[in-house]
Structure 1
Amino acid sequence: MRILGLDLGTKTLGVAVSDELGWTAQGIETIRIDEEHGEYGFDRLRQLIEQYAVEEIVVGFPKNMNGTIGPRGEATKRFAEQVKQTFSLPVVLWDERLSTMAAERMLIAADVSRKKRKQVIDKMAAVMILQSYLDHKQLR
């Protein structure tokens, strides 16, 4: 069973997918979105869901450090509900606190240029969100 991981930004949507056994997450791509006009790349998401035979979707849920939900968290909840209704698949909101910062640190450590980091940061954050979820599932 493959699981899709999503990291919603204001301009891009990072996408990752699990292997068939649900052990590892791999980054697929970053989709340009227009959040202001409600354009979230659902046509491309549909293609990826079909291509990888996805059965579940994990959306990074940006909570504040104290656990409260701010404006980004509310926007993410609305997005996750749209994903659930559009694709008729289970959608899990997964705590993503610090995932983008961790992805940034990892890319800096790998000596990736600032320009290249900007192009892949959301995809890497999606990988970290999905991998965290997969690790949690295996511990249960």
Structure 2
Amino acid sequence: MRLALDWGQARIGVAACDPDGLLAHPVETIPANQHALDRVRALADEYEPVEVVLGWPRNLRGVEGPAVERMRLVLADLERVLDPIPVVLVDERMSTADAARRLAAAGRNSRQRRGVIDQAAAVGILEQALESRRHR
């Protein structure tokens, strides 16, 4: 079982997968405020993941983008709060754009997408991590 986080400035999308790592599904959206780490820890206690996958910002050329400095602080906080659960970084390039396309294809309008887009992006990040593991 794994959890994935799409950590944004306003919201954090959370996804999980089954114990076999076959199917990722949305869990919830957490406001990115002073209580976010507490909620992530509570989810880790509830789901008992073997690892937490964190979307890592890169630009389209694959280079770490300007959001990386902020994410380094988030990563350090997550590692401290989740210890001993490892935090694994996964390239999140295009995760939100891909999630928006999938939701639009499923018939969700922009208002309907707003509440779940971060969860859908976290699902995409987790699916990418699971696929990468299957090919190793």
Q: TM-score range by the shorter chain?
A: over 0.9
Is 1:6–1:15's contact at 8 Å kept on the other side of the alignment? yes
1:94-113 to 2 correspondence within 5 Å? 94-113=90-109
Distance 1:74 1:18 in 2: 28
Aligned-pair RMSD on alpha carbons? 1.2
Q: Unaligned 5+ residue runs, structure 1?
A: none
Deviations 1:39-77 (A, max 9, x none): 251221122111111120110011011222222122222
What is the TM-score of this pair, normalised by structure 1?
0.91
The CA deviation at 1:119 is 0.7
Q: Unaligned 5+ residue runs, structure 2?
A: none
Counterpart amino acid of residue 29 in structure 2? T
Check if 1:129 corresponds to 2:125.
Answer: yes
Distance 1:17 1:69 in 2: 25
Check if 1:60 corresponds to 2:59.
Answer: no
Is 2:13–2:122's contact at 8 Å kept on the other side of the alignment? yes
Identity of aligned residues (%): 39
Counterpart amino acid of residue 68 in structure 1? V
The corresponding residue for 2:11 is 12
Distance 1:46 1:121 in 2: 22
Report the number of matched residues.
Answer: 135
SS at match of 1:71: coil
What is the TM-score of this pair, normalised by structure 2?
0.94
Q: Where do 4+ consecutive residues of structure 1 move more than 6 Å?
A: none
Distance 1:103 1:19 in 2: 20
Distance 1:93 1:81 in 2: 12
